[in-house]
């Protein structure tokens, strides 16, 4: 975003930037591994259900705040609170979003660093190396991981510092279609060479025995994370929306594209997992080990597809990372009247230290548990994805549903159908706050304290 114009050039720019934000590690790395950790079927079905029932409405609400409030996430909320005679403390929603964004940036950069590292490894080819051993070696080195994530973090910081308007638009125009095509190719490969029936059965069968609060919370958390909800990205991007662009249509497009990529990523990865008899519950390492096994098996073809896969994943991560940094950078720059560049520098330094903590979770502090959470990396991820995003999402819902109801009009939203408009407000007022808070409470009780009611 160019600081001076403060508006996207055209309607496509918002779509490209928001899709670029939504489609990222969350789809290709996060979704498959979380589906695996949570037993597949039920998680995937819940995820799709929550994308539609809670994700889309809250997504629209967040874009709405940005579009109406026309400022960084904190000031946008403050502006709207003022014009609706609400308390200024609603800005807590904006501040919590910023906090979540810093935590997410802290661990996101680390995974993205690993992706870049894997790009180079796969370029050289795996030869006879065992992917499991390669992975263990790569994550065991604190400094090597630090090198890769720093590269990524500084790179994205520089882009955000310059303003993300033109660059992100032209890059996404080419790279998003490439990413879609590559994911589809990998699905095709999985269908021909892998075990697609087992994958389909695993991903889409109803598994009643896994029905517990932790799975539900993980599914909502993943839905919000993947859609970039709950930390100000959508407010920031919404604030640059041209006046004539409507919120609902744009939101439906982004949400559909994002969910499609996640499901296809699952259909690319799990046929290989089952074909090579790998462990679907491997967790965060799933994508790295499984995909490298597959690329190695592909022989010469793998030497091309492998690096291409990691390159596109890195690009997807990069456009998401930019969108993770954007809210805090505009906030610092507007609040303290410093240049975007200075603001980006400050935020990158903060994220650097958070990333160090998260890197340590892979090696030096690997066994340092934080309460019930495995290590500092897992703890940051949990705190951001499953804890903060749901709370901020609740705040956004309540604020728009209860405080801004009168300012909602079909022009901004693009919902001419009165029934749909009222349904949306109803969901924001009642359905989403009640269900989010219930899921949040029960999920935390189970995950953090081991207390479960069903």
Rounded to whole angstroms, how far apart are CA atoms 270 and 326?
Answer: 34
User: Does residue 172 touch ligand TRP according to CB under 6 A?
Assistant: no
| Using rule CB under 6 A, residue 261 touches ligand TRP | no
Which ranges of 276-339 would DSSP assign to H, the alpha helix? 286-297, 300-335
Q: How many residues sit close enough to ligand TRP to count as binding (CB under 6 A)?
A: 16
Nearer to ligand TRP, 13 or 104 (CB): 104
245 binds ligand TRP (CB under 6 A): no
User: Footprint of ligand TRP on residues 87-146 (CB under 6 A)?
Assistant: 104
| Cβ burial 238-249 (10 Å sphere, 16+ → b, else e) | bbbbeeebbbbe
Return the DSSP state at 27. Answer: I
Identified binder of ligand TRP from the candidate list 72, 226, 245, 375, rule CB under 6 A: 226
Residues 6 or more apart whose CB falls under 8 angstroms from that of 174 comprise none
- Based on the shown chain and the rule CB under 6 A, indicate whether residue 222 belongs to the binding site for ligand TRP: no
Question: Of the two residues 203 and 384, which places its CB atom closer to ligand TRP in the complex?
Answer: 384
With contact defined as beta carbons under 8 Å apart, do 443 and 217 qualify?
yes
Least spacing, CB of residue 234 vs ligand TRP, in Å:
7
Q: Report the residue from 8, 18, 27, 358 that binds ligand TRP according to the rule CB under 6 A.
A: 27
User: In sequence order, which residues have a C-beta less than 8 Å from that of residue 101 and are 6 or more positions away?
Assistant: 231, 232, 233, 324, 325, 327, 328
Contact range with ligand TRP by CB under 6 A, out of 24-32, 117-125, 149-157, 185-193: 24-32
Q: Which is nearer to ligand TRP, 225 or 362 (CB)?
A: 225
Of 23-31, 140-148, 199-207, 394-402, the segment contacting ligand TRP by CB under 6 A is 23-31
> Which residue's beta carbon is nearest to the bound ligand TRP?
26
Give the integer Cα–Cα distance in Å for 61 and 68.
10
The reply to whether 320 sits near ligand TRP by the rule CB under 6 A is yes
Residue-by-residue DSSP string for 145-186: HHHHHHHHHHHHHHHHHH-SHHHHHHHHHHHHHHHHHHHHHH
Residue 298 and residue 451: Cα distance in Å, rounded? 46
Asked if residue 24 binds ligand TRP (CB under 6 A), the reply is yes
Q: Which of 38, 228, 290, 355 binds ligand TRP (CB under 6 A)?
A: 228
Task: Give the list of residues 6+ apart from residue 48 with CB closer than 8 angstroms, or none.
Answer: 259, 263
Assess 72 for contact with ligand TRP (CB under 6 A).
no
Instruction: Report the C-alpha gap between 2 and 261 in whole angstroms.
Output: 29
Q: Does position 65 bind ligand TRP by CB under 6 A?
A: no
Least distance from ligand TRP to the Cβ atom of residue 406, Å: 28
Does 21 interact with ligand TRP (rule: CB under 6 A)? Answer: yes
Instruction: Indicate whether 19 belongs to the interface with ligand TRP (CB under 6 A).
Output: no
Q: How many CA atoms lie within 13 A of 353 on its CB side?
A: 5
* Span near ligand TRP by CB under 6 A; candidates 122-130, 147-155, 224-232, 441-449: 224-232
- Phi-psi category of residue 198: left, alpha or beta, with phi > 0 → left and psi -120 to 50 → alpha: alpha
User: Which residues in this chain contact ligand TRP in the complex, by CB under 6 A?
Assistant: 21-22, 24-27, 104, 225-226, 228, 230-231, 233, 320, 323-324
């Amino acid at each position: 975003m160019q600081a001076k114009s403060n508006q996207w050039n055209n309607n496509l720019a918002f779509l490209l930037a928001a899709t670029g934000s939504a489609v990222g590690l969350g789809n290709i790395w996060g979704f498959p591994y979380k589906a695996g950790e949570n037993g597949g079927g039920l998680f995937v079905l819940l995820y799709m259900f929550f994308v539609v029932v809670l994700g889309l409405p809250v997504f629209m609400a967040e874009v709405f705040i940005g579009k109406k409030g026309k400022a960084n996430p904190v000031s946008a909320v403050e502006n709207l609170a003022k014009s609706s005679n609400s308390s200024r403390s609603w800005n807590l929603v904006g501040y919590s979003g910023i906090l979540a964004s810093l935590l997410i940036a802290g661990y996101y950069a680390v995974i993205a660093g690993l992706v870049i590292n894997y790009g180079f490894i796969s370029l050289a080819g795996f030869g006879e190396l065992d992917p499991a051993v390669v992975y263990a070696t790569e994550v065991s080195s604190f400094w090597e991981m630090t090198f890769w994530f720093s590269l990524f973090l500084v790179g994205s910081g520089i882009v955000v510092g310059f303003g993300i308007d033109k660059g992100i638009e032209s890059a996404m125009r080419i790279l998003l279609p490439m990413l879609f095509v590559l994911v589809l190719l990998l699905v095709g490969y999985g269908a021909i060479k892998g075990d697609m029936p087992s994958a389909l059965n695993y991903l889409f069968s109803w598994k009643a025995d896994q029905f517990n609060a932790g799975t539900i919370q993980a599914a909502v958390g993943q839905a919000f994370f993947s859609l970039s909800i709950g930390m100000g990205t959508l407010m920031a991007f919404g604030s640059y929306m041209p006046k004539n662009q409507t919120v609902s249509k744009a939101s439906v497009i982004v949400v559909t594209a994002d969910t499609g990529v996640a499901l296809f990523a699952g259909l690319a990865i799990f046929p290989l997992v089952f074909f090579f008899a790998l462990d679907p519950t491997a967790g965060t390492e799933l994508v790295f080990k499984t995909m490298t096994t597959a690329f190695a098996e592909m022989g010469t073809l793998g030497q091309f597809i492998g690096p291409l896969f990691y390159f596109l994943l890195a690009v997807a991560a990069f456009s998401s990372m930019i969108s993770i940094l954007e809210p805090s950078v505009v906030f610092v720059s507007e609040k303290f009247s410093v240049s975007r560049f200075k603001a980006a520098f400050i935020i990158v330094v903060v994220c650097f230290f958070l990333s160090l903590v998260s890197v340590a979770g892979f090696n030096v502090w690997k066994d340092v548990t934080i309460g019930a959470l495995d290590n500092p990396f897992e703890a940051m991820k949990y705190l951001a994805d499953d804890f903060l995003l749901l709370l901020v999402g609740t705040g956004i819902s309540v604020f728009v549903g209860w405080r801004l109801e009168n300012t909602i009009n079909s022009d901004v939203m693009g919902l001419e159908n009165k029934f749909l408009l009222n349904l949306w407000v109803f969901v924001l007022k009642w359905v989403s706050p009640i269900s989010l808070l219930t899921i949040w409470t029960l999920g935390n009780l189970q995950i953090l304290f081991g207390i479960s009611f069903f």
